[in-house]
Amino acid sequence: MSGAILTLNAGSSSLKVALYAECGERQLARGHADRIGPDGTLTLTDADGAALPVGAGPVATHRDALDRVLETLARARPEDRIAAIGHRVVHGGIAHEAPVPVTEGLLDVLDRLSQFAPLHQPHNLAGIRAAEAAFPGTPQVACFDTAFHRTHPFVNDTFALPRRFYDRGVRRYGFHGLSYEYITGELARTDPALARGRVIIAHLGNGASMCGIRGGRSVASTMGFSALDGLPMGTRCGQLDPGVVLYLMTEEGMDAAAISDLLYTQSGLLGLSGGLSNDMRTLEASAAPEAREAIDYFTFRIRRELGAMAAALGGVDAMVFCGGIGENSAPIREAVCAPLEWMGVVLDNAANRAHARVISTAGAPVQVMVVPTNEELVIARATRALTGGEAAQT
């Protein structure tokens, strides 16, 4: 019987599950439940990408999705023994700069942080509870999206509010840290000189953010206190004048729940495209002017943030695109980069269309790259390292 590491990444309506060999970095299977609820879907593939039969049945809850993945894996890979389980946890608060083993005390602390990430943290914690129930006594590890950003300097950690709010935890935490950690590790492995320099990473998926990195450490990020700030996203608004929230309360009579729903689930690409779609592929295929405007706003805000990040870092040596949009959409990368020749960004259009690893011209001052991210592998490495398996590899 061989040991395996299970990783869980529970979003508000999605669950990503991966299975890794306990030794080495080989992925044995990966599952993805999407739109969990009445229309939920579930796919599971083996190490070669072949579909494993998940059968029919509801994907109404995260628990349904996990149960069906585990049942299918037990049938398809009866030789595996789950040796440890790693979880993506969106919020680790100010105390956690690295992954930690899950304990009852930790869950209490993380539960209190749910107030800072109400749409994500409860699902992450539910995933840990579900895994505890399915594998009692198996070691579990929590890996935090905020941890990578704990190196932010004070000026990028604070808001200009009275200091008591900072002390209570009202800070710019930054998210997508597992993705940034993976990309930073990849750069250190393949381009060590570049990795020591000034790098801006754009993680562009359904959630989207950017991170400015100097010497391998996070200096600035577009996401702040919540996963709402910064770039517009599939359904989230991105940067917003707080005066708009005051207006929504006082003039439109909206309460906190209605505003939360508006900003998290009805805004971003979906809202700007007039309700057409939150999905970039659908918008790119659409002839509707609102779809074009939504895309234009998305790429404009990325360029604005690039300028701000460049200033925060004191220049840029490399830019990396990752995430579903960043890795797959040549038109979006071109729309972002083409107007940036003034800052040394010179795209090689053929390389960009071919999704090459380096998509800038040889000798351009800023090296532009496409690097597929792998948050699951970061979780698996940390889980292995903290539960007595092989030392973490970066």
Look at the block and give the residue holding tokens 């599971």. 44
Question: Of 139, 205, 232, 389, which one interacts with ligand ADP (CB under 6 A)?
Answer: 205
**Helix or strand holding residue 309 (H, E):** helix 289-313
| Structural tokens at position 179 | 């993705």
| Structural tokens at position 78 | 């009866």
Residue 253 is assigned to a ligand binding site: no
- By beta-carbon proximity to ligand ADP, the closer residue of 92 and 205 is 205
Interaction pattern, residues 28-67, with ligand ADP; x per rule: CB under 6 A:
----------------------------------------
Residue 140: CB minimum distance to ligand ADP, A: 22
Length of the chain: 394
Residues 226-245 that bind ligand ADP (CB under 6 A): 234
**Of 21, 20, 45, 22, residue with least CA distance to 32:** 45
Look at the block and give the residue holding tokens 């779809």. 291
Marked catalytic residue, from 80, 145, 191, 229: 145
Assess 279 for contact with ligand ADP (CB under 6 A): yes
Report the DSSP beta bridge partners of residue 3. 81
Residue 124 is assigned to a ligand binding site: no
Alpha-carbon radius of gyration of the chain: 21
Question: Of 7, 72, 184, 206, which one interacts with ligand ADP (CB under 6 A)?
Answer: 206
CB < 8 Å & 24+ apart, contacts of 163-171: 169/93, 169/94, 169/116, 170/225, 171/94, 171/225
Residue 166: CB minimum distance to ligand ADP, A: 29
Q: Tell me how far CA of residue 183 lies from CA of 128, 160, 218, 274, 288, in angstroms.
A: 26, 31, 12, 34, 35
- Asked whether the beta carbons of 7 and 374 are under 8 A apart, the reply is no
Neighbouring CB atoms inside 10 A of 327's CB total 17
Residue 203 is assigned to a ligand binding site: yes
- Candidate ranges 77-85, 194-202, 275-283, 333-341; the one touching ligand ADP (CB under 6 A): 275-283
255 is catalytic: no
Question: Of 86, 207, 212, 238, which one interacts with ligand ADP (CB under 6 A)?
Answer: 207
Assess 102 for contact with ligand ADP (CB under 6 A): no
Residue 224 is assigned to a ligand binding site: no
Residues 304-333 that bind ligand ADP (CB under 6 A): 323-325, 328-329
Assess 132 for contact with ligand ADP (CB under 6 A): no
**Helix or strand holding residue 319 (H, E):** strand 318-322
Q: Which residues define the annotated binding site for substrate?
A: 88
| Residues that are catalytic | 145
Binding site for ligand ADP (CB under 6 A): 205-207, 234, 279-281, 284, 323-325, 328-329
